[in-house]
Structure 1
Amino acid sequence: MDRPPADPYQRDCPSRQVLDRIGDRWTVLVVGALSDGPLRFSQLAARIDGVSQKMLTQTLRALERDGLVTRTIYPQVPPRVEYELTEAGVTLQEPLQALENWAKTHMPTILTARQQYDAALPAVNTP
């Protein structure tokens, strides 16, 4: 059965779910952290400052479900688990690195714009 072409501007298009996944802050950081190779959960948590165990677990499960990350369990005591980008996950590295670079480059401009915007707002509790 032929599927219609993906159109994320249509509410029921599955590509919206893909965009939600790859546009998520934790996904961007997990893919970036795994860019240099496989890591254990504790290594990922240490690399991604501020991510909770719950969010990291949810993000890794979602990325595994979407075929972007593999989870390998090594039969040893205690069991060792590593996470690694799949081929599809590796293809995300370049666009997400570009997004990260854009954010770093434009952060000063955005922070200045926020300050100017906030300063121009009328006081909330002005009598």
Structure 2
Amino acid sequence: METLFVNKVSGKETLDQVHEIRRIVFVEEQNCPPELEWEHEEESIHFLATMDNQPCGACRWRKTEQGYKLERFAVLKAYRGKRIGQALVAAALADLPADATYIYLNAQLEAMPLYAKFGFVAEGPQFEEAGIQHFKMVKRA
């Protein structure tokens, strides 16, 4: 049985692993502009998923003017379909402060069913971000 852990990032070495996963998934695979990928790093709380001690997924959350935004969910191709995305969403949600009433994210279309499992509902029109189609999704209590 594979062991999956999601931990809050505390040091530079772990943050470097998060950045490497995001670079591979977003910049290389999805051709996102690198300068967009590294916005808002300092004010974000980052998470790293490992499976059998190998870094395999990442995400972050940050407080914005609207509320709490979950973002940058990335799972390396070799690890997709192993519930890592679900573990990352659960960890990020569990880490939010108790007063986090408005929680939202911008979901790539194929990821929407994952977020829906956690109570997120699409709101507003479809839009393009970094050349990829998205919907804003808001968590309903």
- Normalization by structure 2: what TM-score? 0.26
> Which of 1 and 2 has greater Rg?
1
